[in-house]
């Protein structure tokens, strides 16, 4: 049961990463080139 908080943290990290992926996919190519 001690791994439950870590698992929740991992799920949260995946959600954040998925949200960022969707955000970057919506950005124009010129913007992502500037960030790269």
Q: How crowded is residue 30: how many other Cβ atoms within 10 Å of its Cβ?
A: 8
Contact partners, residue 32, CB within 8 Å, separation at least 6 = 24
Asked whether the beta carbons of 18 and 25 are under 8 A apart, the reply is no
1 vs 35, higher pLDDT: 35
Reported as a single tens digit per residue, the pLDDT across 2-34 is 567 889 999 999 999 999 888 877 777 776 677
16 half-sphere exposure, CB direction, 13 A CA radius: 6
Sign of CA dihedral 10, 12, 18, 20: negative
Name the maximum alpha-carbon separation found in the chain: 47
Q: State residue 15's pLDDT score.
A: 94
14 vs 1, higher pLDDT: 14
Question: Whole-structure pTM over 0.85, yes or no?
Answer: no
Q: Where are the domains of the chain?
A: 3-33
Q: State residue 2's pLDDT score.
A: 59
């Amino acid at each position: 049961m001690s791994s439950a908080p870590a698992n929740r943290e991992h799920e949260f990290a995946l959600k954040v990463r998925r949200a960022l992926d969707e955000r970057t996919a919506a950005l124009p190519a010129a913007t992502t080139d500037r960030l790269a």
